Amino acid sequence: MAGILKTFAIFLLFSIWGFELCNPAYAGEIPFQPGEKLVFRVKWQFIKAGEAVLEVLPIEKVNGMKAYHFVMTAKTYPYIDPFYKVRDRIESYTDIGMNRSVLYKKRKTGVGRKKDITVRFDWENREAEYSNLGKTRKPIAILPGSYDPLSVFYAFRLHELKVGKEIQVPVTDGKTCVLGKARVLKKERVHAISGIYDTYLVEPDLEHLGGVFEKSKDAELRVWVTADARRIPVKMKSKVVIGSFTSELISAKGIE
């Protein structure tokens, strides 16, 4: 059971989120607002393992500037906890124009899982500095318009999809900075726990995902995103070395 929620977090946050590199400031209507809350159920093989929640919190100030504040929490269900307890929280802040990340935090708790990560962005020098449990690494160079693993999900939602489109975005976790890539395969109607949706099926390039995907010879990853202006993920499927898992949208609030 170990690694199910960790795999899901990688799955959700690194999979499809992308747009054209060095994209200018977004001038259209933002498809999400503070108060939005998306809840997903994670299922490993035939076992309901846990839930993940994505939220847009009220606008805050970071270094004196207004910033969007995004949060992801993940937890295993009580009957899974004796095997592998997960209680994770990830926070992300971007500039108010949704052009780049300005701060990233990740906290993990549980036996052998404690982490307290902060990634600070220095855009004047185009660097990101990673620290965990008080230990700081040497800053790394980052690409223009880089996002952290959480805010890139929301940046993706700003941009229109179409069949055949290949998309890419620079993403950094403070230790490396890579160019994530994905391809829009087709339009498809799918069933999820929360309803029936018209979607785009998106397949990411797994080259830079690492972890369980890197160890899986025939790894697969597919995500279905609503074919409307909100571009919300409603269903995800993957096959990796530890088995297959799915994630489905249970509920969505604040999306009107």
Q: What is the DSSP string of 96-151?
A: TTSSSEEEEEEEEESTTT-EEEEEEEETTTTEEEEEETTEEPPPEE--TT-B-TTH
Q: What is the pLDDT of residues 163-222, one digit of tens each?
A: 998 877 888 989 989 887 778 999 999 999 999 999 999 887 755 444 433 444 555 778
Percent pLDDT > 90 in the chain is 48
Does pLDDT of 14 surpass 80? no
Percent pLDDT > 70 in the chain is 79
Q: Is residue 255 part of a domain?
A: no
Confidence of residue 113 (pLDDT cuts 50, 70, 90): low
Does pLDDT of 229 surpass 70? yes
Query: Do the strands 135-136 and 233-240 form a parallel or antiparallel pair, or are they unpaired?
Result: unpaired
Q: Is residue 253 part of a domain?
A: no
In this prediction, residue 111 carries a pLDDT of 57
Overall average pLDDT of the 64-89 stretch: 90
Distance CA 153, CA 157 (A): 7
Q: Is residue 23 part of a domain?
A: yes
Confidence of residue 18 (pLDDT cuts 50, 70, 90): very low
Highest mean pLDDT, choosing among 31-35, 217-221, 236-240: 31-35
Q: Is residue 141 part of a domain?
A: yes
Domain holding 153, by residue range, is: 4-247
Q: Is residue 254 part of a domain?
A: no
Please, which contacts does 156-159 make with residues 24 or more away whose CB atoms are closer than 8 Å? 156/16, 156/17, 156/18, 156/19, 156/231, 157/31, 157/32, 157/230, 157/231, 157/232, 158/19, 158/26, 158/28, 158/30, 158/31, 158/98, 159/19, 159/20, 159/23, 159/231
Q: Is residue 101 within 8 Å of residue 93, measured between CB atoms? A: yes
Please, which contacts does 73-81 make with residues 24 or more away whose CB atoms are closer than 8 Å? 74/5, 74/8, 74/9, 74/42, 74/50, 75/5, 75/50, 75/51, 76/4, 76/5, 76/49, 76/50, 77/48, 77/49, 77/50, 77/51, 80/1, 80/4, 80/47, 80/49, 80/50
Q: Of 31-35, 55-59, 78-82, give the lowest mean pLDDT range.
A: 78-82
Q: Is residue 256 part of a domain?
A: no
Q: Is residue 232 part of a domain?
A: yes
Q: Is residue 160 part of a domain?
A: yes
Confidence of residue 129 (pLDDT cuts 50, 70, 90): very high
Copy the structure tokens of residue 28: 């259209």
Confidence of residue 238 (pLDDT cuts 50, 70, 90): confident
Q: Between residues 39 and 158, which one has the greater pLDDT?
A: 39
As for how many domains the chain has, the answer is 1
Overall average pLDDT of the 111-117 stretch: 78
Q: Is residue 233 within 8 Å of residue 212, measured between CB atoms? A: no
In this prediction, residue 206 carries a pLDDT of 56
Looking up tokens 């230990």 gives: 135
Burial of 61 (0-12, 13-18, 19+ CB in 10 A): exposed
In this prediction, residue 212 carries a pLDDT of 37
Overall average pLDDT of the 98-120 stretch: 87
In this prediction, residue 198 carries a pLDDT of 97
In this prediction, residue 101 carries a pLDDT of 96
In this prediction, residue 84 carries a pLDDT of 78
Does pLDDT of 10 surpass 50? no
